[in-house]
Chain A
Amino acid sequence: MVLPDDEFEFFFDKPWSDGLPVVIPTEERIEDMLTGVDRNPNGVIGEVPPANEVMTVHAVAVHAVMAGCRAEYFSGLVAALEAVLEPPFNINGIQATMHSCAPLTIFNGSYGKEIGLHGGSGCFGPGFRANATIGRAIRLILMNLGGGIPGVTSMSTFSQPSRYTYCIRENEEDSPWEPLSVTRGYRTEEDTVTAVACENPKLIFDDISKDPETLLAGPADAVAYLGCMNALRRTDLVFAISPDHAKICADAGWSKADVHAYLCEKAGKTLGELKVGGGYTEDRIQDLPIKVDLENDNFFVPTIKDQDDLMIIVAGGIPGPISAFMHGWNGASRPVTRKIYLQDEA
């Protein structure tokens, strides 16, 4: 069916369209978006691989308008993009891989709360404009300035729904522990965004357990299955624990570090179990930062190869007897945290 002229059709026809309607980026809307940050519109933030188009502040504003952002989201979006472009994050590789991972951005601090970024009930799903549109603006930029278009430079076999948008805030209000930003060396009053390349959230339901050891037995098992990259490689892992589950741990006197240590110790497979999975090769095991006795099939190989690879956040609403794991990519990307500079401090 040939559609008559409709301003929205112009954008749908672009090869970098994510397939959803955009807000038409008129000059007026772009100007308004640029008021959200105290930076020169011509200032260069970086180049977006693999196409390496130059990303100026103005170019970010155009995509922010199209994604549906409000002007007050703009500082956070710019910081998130800066994190994604840091070399250790290796967005070049993520853009091209056959894997499905997407940059998850996690916000900490009062700024996220003020702009309505949601970390409570349903935070990984639809219904929250800040989450939906900041995440989407990142994706539109990766497609349009970076050329990360399926079948063109993106060779992802399946891709994944979180490549539409993947942006949350940590639920600091309902957390018994220090926020992720503090764990990563920032001060409580600092606003930060952390980017990490990972899979979709994988749920672990438990509405029975009353103590941390029983509660975490499920997650420790669920994280170790043979299909994930983490089974045979050193890579990132995000554990989103719901406030209810975090409370069970905290009430028993467990700190976030205790949960962290428990998962690092308990999650894993024996070498014999790894050997029968199709992805196994000896050199992959020899490359690990831990020494594995290749003759001993009972040798326990932890899923989390280095304790720095596990990131724990509190997310989701109350009630919520669920936690979630997000497995990492192939180890070629490392998480990056950036401070968000707001207008009054700039």
Chain B
Amino acid sequence: MSSNFFFDKPWSDGLPVIPPTEKRVVRMLMGTSRSEEESVGAIPPVFEATKVRDVAVHAVMAGCRPEYLPVVLAGIEAMLDKCFGLNGLQGSGNSSAPLLIVNGFYAQEIGLHGGRGCFGPGFRANATIGRAIRLMLMNLCGGIPGVVSMVTFGQPSKYIFCVAENEVESPWEPFSVSRGYGVGDNVVIVVACENPQLVVDNYARNPEQLFVSIADTMSHLGCWNQWVCSDLVLAFSPQQAAICVDLIRNEVRHRLCELAGRRLGELKRAGQYRMEWMEDLPFEVDLKDDNFFVPVVKDFDDLRINVAGESPGPHSAVMHGWNGGSRAVSRMYSV
């Protein structure tokens, strides 16, 4: 089968795939004890019924090794949770993409990378698990630009958006543990968000100094979080997390929730300001007081902090959420 066969499909991501021969699909299915006929669910907006075997076929095409299959299955199943709002996300004009953050022993075992360069190329597990998800969203669900996806720009993380947490270099408990799972539990969290946006800071020596630039970057007037309840992911490099070592993760979250935000008068300057949105927020905003401080994180639970990258590296990364139509979902998976 020539490689052009797959390039010519309307759902191609534009990159070469491995032809999913029967032999390769059978080998891929060895990565799970689940039956190939078992249903995974129906993926919106096309609602094609999806079986474990379909997931395996896309995992082969994306370039996955068989041992990645449990993570791919967990990722797509988490996205089918109603709270995630995949239907809206697929059709949206915004460019948010599902980010997978994977915690637990298994991620380390299969080489899912959370260290240096983890958001970029060079790591097969990250690249191919992320890509398998995208190929399914395009092929099984019709999320094709200009067909059902009305996305204006798209974004590079729509190709691939999958990282592990750097649990080894983190001063805090794993992100999954902060969400109530046990240490070592294999957990995947999916969250619809924008590309990582860097916060560069090689001078801050204490958390209060460090938080100024992060809070400012979180709260610019272009992001959706300004107007609605939505997720916001913050990746600390180990070097920046070490500056905060005297604080527990929740203290960091609380402080950033306090600091990041804008005065109502500033919000009103932006073209996107709508009074109804302020009225819909889960807290009362005094619409007559232009000095009223409106936090960018509307609910403490919306801010999700993980540790990624590697030392040295004086960076954090802000990933803003979508329009509030999707909420992050976490899911424990078995191997």
- Least Cβ–Cβ distance between B175 and chain A, in angstroms: 16
Known: A121-B145, A277-B216, A278-B210. A164 touches B121 (CB 8 A): yes
Interface of B is mostly: loop
Known: A23-B3, A202-B197, A227-B200. A217 touches B156 (CB 8 A): no
Stretch at the interface among A37-45, A50-58, A129-137: A129-137
B127 A18 Cβ-Cβ under 8 A: yes
Interface 0/1 of B43-82, CB less than 8 Å to A: 0000000000000000000110111000000000000000
B116 A129 Cβ-Cβ under 8 A: no
A122 B154 Cβ-Cβ under 8 A: yes
Chain B residues within an 8 Å CB radius of A12: 63, 124
Interface 0/1 of A185-216, CB less than 8 Å to B: 00000000000000111111111110000110
- Complex Cα distance, B63 from A20, in Å, reads 6
B14 A133 Cβ-Cβ under 8 A: yes
B213 A277 Cβ-Cβ under 8 A: yes
A161 B155 Cβ-Cβ under 8 A: yes
Chain A residues within an 8 Å CB radius of B242: none
- Complex Cα distance, B122 from A131, in Å, reads 19
Chain B contacts with A in 274-326, Cβ cutoff 8 A: 274, 308-310, 312-318, 320, 323
The chain A residue with its CB closest to the CB of B31 is A1
Known: A18-B127, A149-B122. A133 touches B15 (CB 8 A): yes
B191: Cβ under 8 A from any A Cβ = no
The chain B residue with its CB closest to the CB of A122 is B145
Q: Identify the interface centre among B204, B210, B239, B271: most chain A CB within 10 Å of its CB.
A: B271
Interface 0/1 of A290-327, CB less than 8 Å to B: 00000000000000000000000001110111101101
A209 B201 Cβ-Cβ under 8 A: no
A158 B118 Cβ-Cβ under 8 A: yes
A98 B153 Cβ-Cβ under 8 A: no
- Complex Cα distance, B29 from A112, in Å, reads 41
A279: Cβ under 8 A from any B Cβ = yes
Chain B contacts with A in 25-50, Cβ cutoff 8 A: 27, 30-31
Chain B residues within an 8 Å CB radius of A126: 13-15, 134, 138, 154, 158-159
A6 B66 Cβ-Cβ under 8 A: no
B15 A132 Cβ-Cβ under 8 A: yes
Which of A149, A223, A242, A278 meets B201, CB within 8 Å?
Answer: A278
Chain B residues within an 8 Å CB radius of A166: 156
Which of B18, B156, B217 meets A21, CB within 8 Å?
Answer: B18
A259: Cβ under 8 A from any B Cβ = no
Stretch at the interface among B181-189, B221-229, B246-254: B221-229
A22: Cβ under 8 A from any B Cβ = yes
A227 B119 Cβ-Cβ under 8 A: no
A157 B155 Cβ-Cβ under 8 A: no
Chain B residues within an 8 Å CB radius of A176: none
Chain A residues within an 8 Å CB radius of B315: 98-100, 157-158
A89: Cβ under 8 A from any B Cβ = no
B144: Cβ under 8 A from any A Cβ = yes
A125 B151 Cβ-Cβ under 8 A: yes
- Complex Cα distance, B67 from A295, in Å, reads 61
- Complex Cα distance, B272 from A205, in Å, reads 7
- Complex Cα distance, B144 from A64, in Å, reads 25
A125 B152 Cβ-Cβ under 8 A: no
Chain B residues within an 8 Å CB radius of A20: 15-16, 62-63, 121, 124, 127-128, 131
B153 A122 Cβ-Cβ under 8 A: yes
- Complex Cα distance, B27 from A4, in Å, reads 9
A229: Cβ under 8 A from any B Cβ = yes
- Complex Cα distance, B122 from A330, in Å, reads 24
- Complex Cα distance, B313 from A132, in Å, reads 29
* A side interface size, CB within 8 A: 96
Known: A158-B237, A217-B271. A68 touches B15 (CB 8 A): yes
Known: A164-B121, A217-B269. A279 touches B202 (CB 8 A): yes
- Least Cβ–Cβ distance between B126 and chain A, in angstroms: 6
Which of B16, B120, B204 meets A159, CB within 8 Å?
Answer: B120
Chain B contacts with A in 93-125, Cβ cutoff 8 A: 93-95, 97, 115-125
Which of A8, A100, A209, A226 meets B120, CB within 8 Å?
Answer: A100
A19: Cβ under 8 A from any B Cβ = yes
A343: Cβ under 8 A from any B Cβ = no
Known: A122-B146, A126-B134. A226 touches B128 (CB 8 A): no
A1 B213 Cβ-Cβ under 8 A: no
B117 A121 Cβ-Cβ under 8 A: no
B270 A19 Cβ-Cβ under 8 A: no
A158 B216 Cβ-Cβ under 8 A: no
B122 A143 Cβ-Cβ under 8 A: yes
A128 B14 Cβ-Cβ under 8 A: yes
Which of A18, A203, A273 meets B194, CB within 8 Å?
Answer: A203
Which of A160, A199, A322 meets B153, CB within 8 Å?
Answer: A322
Chain B residues within an 8 Å CB radius of A36: none
B212: Cβ under 8 A from any A Cβ = yes
Chain B residues within an 8 Å CB radius of A200: 155-157, 195-197
18 A-B pairs with CB atoms under 8 Å apart are A18-B127, A20-B127, A23-B3, A122-B152, A125-B151, A126-B13, A150-B116, A151-B116, A154-B116, A158-B196, A165-B15, A205-B94, A218-B270, A222-B222, A223-B220, A226-B199, A278-B212, A319-B93
* Contacts from A to B (Cβ < 8 Å): 1, 3-4, 6, 8, 12, 17-23, 67-68, 98-100, 102, 120-133, 136, 139, 143, 149-151, 154-166, 199-209, 214-215, 217-219, 221-229, 240, 242, 273, 276-281, 315-317, 319-322, 324-325, 327
Extra pairs beyond A136-B15, A242-B153 (11, CB < 8 Å): A3-B65, A18-B122, A21-B17, A68-B16, A124-B158, A127-B12, A161-B120, A200-B196, A222-B220, A226-B213, A317-B152
* Contacts from B to A (Cβ < 8 Å): 3, 7, 12-18, 24, 27, 30-31, 62-63, 65-67, 93-95, 97, 115-128, 131, 134, 138, 144-146, 149-161, 194-204, 209-210, 212-214, 216-217, 219-224, 235, 237, 239, 266, 269-274, 308-310, 312-318, 320, 323
Please provide the 10 A-B residue pairs with the shortest distance between their CB atoms, ordered closest to farther. Answer: A125-B154, A159-B120, A157-B313, A278-B204, A132-B14, A19-B127, A122-B145, A320-B152, A222-B222, A209-B271
